[in-house]
Every structure is written in structure tokens, then in C-alpha cells.
Amino acid sequence: GESVGLHLPTLSVQEGDNSIINCAYSNSASDYFIWYKQESGKGPQFIIDIRSNMDKRQGQRVTVLLNKTVKHLSLQIAATQPGDSAVYFCAEIPNSGYSTLTFGKGTMLLVSP
């Protein structure tokens, strides 16, 4: 389970609502972005990615929006379900040779039935 005093930013929604999770990234040279979902006791699970030559990409019930002007990334989840409850991370890779994923701090999404 979660540690006491974890204090992640938390978004609480009702089942069926649309959810929007936001992420600010710091490196203007980043050209690849990923959203991950992490359930308790599990590893991060890939949800959707987007490259810097796009500003929107849609998957099944999820949409990622990229605003390079303000270095902002968002994940929209349509018709949120209790199974969507998890911690969500954005991650970026700078456009520079050998680079690795840099993860954001994470947002906890809590979905009430």
C-alpha cells in the first residue's frame, strides 16, 4: 500500500467523469513524452506517448495534449472508471544522443464509484 504521508498531488473524481492530469516539464529540448500508470504494488505501465512534432494524440479513452510553448503536457481520461485509480507519471526524453526517461513527480487519481 501507499506510505503514510506520501502527499502526492491527488485528483478525486466520480466514476463516469472525465479526468485531466497535468504535467509541467522543464527541458525545452525534450522531444518525446510518455504517460505511465502505476497501480499499487506494480510497475509503471505504458499508457500513451507523443512526439514533439505533434500536439495531440488519442488512444482508447485517453488523449494526450502537448503544449511546447508553455512546456505543458496533459492526460485526459474519458469516462473514468474505478480501475483507473492509480498514480500517473509523465516522462520525457531530451533530444540529445543517449538520453533516458526523466519522470515527473506523479499524480494520484482516485475514482469513486
Residues found near other proteins in the complex (CB under 8 A) = 3, 6-8, 31-32, 34, 36, 38, 41-46, 49, 51, 87, 89, 93, 98-103, 105-106
Distance CA 96, CA 104 (A): 19
Shortest Cβ 78–other proteins spacing (Å): 22
Pairing mode of beta strands 45-51, 56-58: unpaired
**44/73 with CB nearer other proteins:** 44
Shortest Cβ 97–other proteins spacing (Å): 9
Shortest Cβ 103–other proteins spacing (Å): 4
Beta bridge partners of 84: none
Task: Report the residue count for the chain.
Answer: 113
Closest by CA to 104, choosing from 39, 21, 18, is: 21
